[in-house]
Structure 1
């Protein structure tokens, strides 16, 4: 567990080995970082990116952790931290002309979202 996450008053959720580029996930996370839980839900519902689906699922999980483990109300939560780290790349081969093969990298990432109540700042 990350030592920075232990210091946060609140709850967090992590999705590991998500089959998506971390750069594309960060584009979505930058839009919701620092916002309230409800505002982030609305933003994620209507953004046109494929990365919104795992981020939305993870945000709901972090809110459920905060509600169940710490007794916080979902309405009072804000997104304290949201980041995507690079995971291992899956390596595949694509056949090419004259018997060659090009390597294809399929990136993965680890997404972490931490939420805390508004008054815990």
Structure 2
């Protein structure tokens, strides 16, 4: 590894130490369906987001609930505090498209229709709300 690459990699590692996140790669759900659920919890307090995901009828909500619990556990490990008394909220969530499986469905008269089975990557960020009254 070159010197410049090594320096930038170390800077990136230092920056990630202050971020609390969890990633879920290759989820076999279309990104559009996952974004509907992600938009429901963006900016919410963690406990409220967990309850919203638990009682949502969408299939993607189960996976996001598990991912949010993982992000909370990551925050607890890095800060060595409990999430119960902290003011945690979902600071950011992004859903990006991943690989697409291309399949053929037989069609009449010797044709074939293309089926695209989409998947996505989800990154969820958790942070604490600052309750400083002195800031203007």
Q: Same fold, TM exceeding 0.5?
A: yes
TM-score by length of 1: 0.87
Indicate the residue corresponding to 2:79 in structure 1: 70
CA shift for structure 1 position 71: 1.9
Higher relative contact order (CA 8 A, sep 6+): 1
SS of residue in 2 equivalent to 1:88 = coil
Rg (Cα) greater in structure: 2
Q: What does residue 112 of structure 1 align with? A: 123
Q: Distance in 2 between matches of 1:17 and 1:42?
A: 25
Match among 81, 100, 103 for residue 111 of structure 2 = 100
Shift of 1:120: 8.2
Contact 1:22–1:86 (Cα < 8 Å) also in 2? yes
Tell me the alpha carbon deviations over residues 55-83 of structure 1, each in whole angstroms, 9 at most, x when there is no partner: 11100110111111222422321111011
| Partner in structure 2 of residue 34 of structure 1 | 43
Partner of 2:25: 16
Work out the CA distance in 1 between the residues paired with 2:49 and 2:55. Answer: 10
> How far did residue 116 of structure 1 move?
1.1
Stretches of structure 1 that go unaligned for 5 or more consecutive residues are: none
CA–CA distance in structure 2, aligned partners of residues 31 and 65 of structure 1: 22
RMSD over equivalenced CA pairs, Å: 2.2
**3-state DSSP class of the match of 2:90?**
strand
Shift of residue 115 of structure 1? 0.3
What is the alpha-carbon distance in structure 2 between the residues aligned to residue 68 and residue 54 of structure 1?
21
